[in-house]
Amino acid sequence: MDIGERRQGNILVLAPVGRIDNLTSAAFQARLLAAVTSSSADVVVDLSGVEYISSAGLRALMTASRQKPKEQRLAVACLQTVVREIFAISRFSHIVPVFATVEEASTAWRAPPRPGSAVLHAEPEPAGPLRVRFWGTRGSLPAPLRERAVRAKIRDALLAARGHALETEQAIDGFIDSKLPFSVRGTFGGNTSCVEIITGGDEYVICDLGTGMREFGNHVLRVHGPVRKHCFNVFLSHPHWDHIMGFPFFAPAYIPGNRIRIYGCHDVLGEALHTQHSSPCFPVDFRKLPSTIEFITLEPDRTYEIAGLSVTSIRQLHTGDSYGYRFSQGGKSIVYSTDCEHKYSSLDESYPFIAFYRNADLLIFDAMYSLGDTISVKEDWGHSSNVVAVELAHAAQVKRLVLFHHEPAYDDRMIEEVSAETIRFEEISRPGHRVEVISAYDGLELEL
């Protein structure tokens, strides 16, 4: 394989000819490394003469990209059809930028950044009312959709569409939104507990580290990129696996400069996360994470000021104990109360959760089981029911009740049925104060 070289303005252009495969990739890599280490000039690899590039050739580009000086730029241009397909299949354009021509690369690198194009100084969320975003709402273990469930949704949608005029995209969207139940047009999701409280400040607030934490982390990177540093305030209800298993896949934890503060009332939180994040359970040892991670122990029933919120916790009935949290700001309050079994014999002011939930604008409540199950075969399992949720919400004058920690054995239709039954129970048991009942789903966002 021949590799030509030329100067085009301030750019060094390398022009290999032939195939870049297992036989030629070593020579290609050596020439690339020489180019990026011997000169400060930006480098464009002109691939117009290359008919094929293997994974070894792509690795050579990756190696050069990693070893070049930080301020130096490396790109490829003029890809033939097959090589362009290989780059697309390999998702390689986010590793090394791809341009149609060398001139296009030169123009792009000379152009000043567009106003507003950078996201490095953007705030996490605009200031405004408190909001809650649900990233994971399942209990105990993840519950992904299976092929059969997706097929059933498609079938139900097609059956419902019979007789409707759906010739335009607008008509189709209107039909989906107005004629299909949520269990058909959407899904409650399968990620375990992870809830974001959006304060409008410059720090993030998260409840629990379930598998929804992965999607939350990816969202942060998608919005702000990997360069801007953040502070994450995490409140753990307890260290059972479904509430911490998302942390090893939380991408911001792997970025130097990020700060993660993990709050909780257990003194074993650090031990739990270190154990999960070490051999033989996980390939990356917790101690090697480049972000700054702190564990801060809170005292139940004491109020703290954290990230612009007043935060109070309460001990809950669950194996090994769990803790609920009340977050308040500007006269609004959110209660996060999951993994809690309620065994009151009479519901009066002596029951401490009535005071803790009192006048909450939003109560996120573990309604995993039916009442029949919680007082029989699943007694002492540490979870509650939709019936108890409504009774407590009525007694505490809660404004909105969010059913949470859904049973992983339930499909979307069953959760929807529980939601409808809970709304009906709220109606027939209402003492005068109405409570709005909502079933949480992955992706739900609520404003207070």
Rounded to whole angstroms, how far apart are CA atoms 100 and 105? Answer: 8
Question: Looking at this protein, which amino acid is placed at residue 187?
Answer: T
Q: Could you confirm whether domain 131-143+188-447 is CATH 3.60.15.10?
A: yes
Rounded to whole angstroms, how far apart are CA atoms 369 and 239? Answer: 21
Q: How many helices (H) and strands (E) does the chain have?
A: 13, 20
Rounded to whole angstroms, how far apart are CA atoms 363 and 384? Answer: 14
User: What does the pLDDT read at residue 43?
Assistant: 95
Q: Tell me which of 103-112, 153-162, 308-317 is least confident.
A: 103-112
Q: Please state which CATH class domain 2-110 belongs to.
A: alpha beta
276 exposure class (CB count in 10 Å sphere: 0-12, 13-18, 19+): middle
User: What does the pLDDT read at residue 221?
Assistant: 94
User: What does the pLDDT read at residue 115?
Assistant: 45
- Report percent pLDDT > 70 for the chain: 96
User: Could you tell me whether strands 303-306 and 309-316 are parallel, antiparallel, or unpaired per DSSP bridges?
Assistant: antiparallel
User: What does the pLDDT read at residue 1?
Assistant: 82
Equal CATH topology for 2-110 and 131-143+188-447: no
Q: What mean pLDDT is predicted for residues 363-382?
A: 86
Residue 232 DSSP class? E
pLDDT in tens, 99-152: 999 999 999 988 665 444 444 444 455 556 899 999 999 999 999 999 999 999
Confidence of residue 228 (pLDDT cuts 50, 70, 90): confident
Phi, psi of 300 (to 5 degrees): -60, 150
Separation of first and last alpha carbons in the chain: 65
* Per-domain boundaries in the chain: 2-110, 131-143+188-447, 147-185
Token couple for 76: 């490829």
Confidence of residue 204 (pLDDT cuts 50, 70, 90): very high
Q: What mean pLDDT is predicted for residues 196-201?
A: 95
Rounded to whole angstroms, how far apart are CA atoms 310 and 84? Answer: 54
